[in-house]
Structure 1
């Protein structure tokens, strides 16, 4: 018995995610979020929410996604090796075909 997952990502969401990957270095974002998390825990270790373990499960999945994205997009971003560089973002209204060309047909 085979099971097919009928959940489909809309074209609009796929384009937004693609845009995000093109203009946000995942390695830098991953490092930033992990640092924020450690600082948050350090400042609130005695007062963490009872829901914190559930949040950590979600954050772990996000970190794994960002790890994978960093590996697969290495070299896409000028800021890959520079934490201080800010990427200029183009609006989401940019032609989806142009996005695919910029990403090499992702």
Structure 2
């Protein structure tokens, strides 16, 4: 018996994800979120929400996604402090740029 998943990612969502991946280094976002989480736990360890375990499950999946994205996009970004610049490559709006974005 085969079960087909009826959930479909809309083109709008796919485009938003492509845009995020093109302009936001996932490893930086990953580090930032992990740091925020550690700080939050450190300041609230005695008063964590009853939903904290559920939050951790969701965050764990997000961290895994960001880990994978960081591996897949290695070399895409030049980072200087918090300024992001894509490596020199196909210019945005060109056919080659669009082909690179489609792979995301």
TM-score normalised by the shorter chain: which range applies?
A: 0.7 to 0.9
Q: Could you list the runs of 5+ residues in structure 1 that have no partner in the other structure?
A: 89-93
TM-score between both structures, scaled by the size of structure 1: 0.81
> Equivalents in 1 of 2:98, 2:67: separation in Å?
22
Gaps of 5+ in 2: 86-91
Aligned length: 96
Q: Per chain length, whose mean CA-contact separation is higher, i.e. which structure has more relative contact order (CA < 8 Å, sep 6+)?
A: 1
TM-score between the two structures when normalised by the length of structure 2: 0.82
Runs ≥4 residues deviating over 6 A: none
2-side partners of 1:25 and 1:55: how far apart? 23
Query: Per residue, is there more strand in 1 or in 2?
Result: 2
RMSD (CA atoms): 2.0
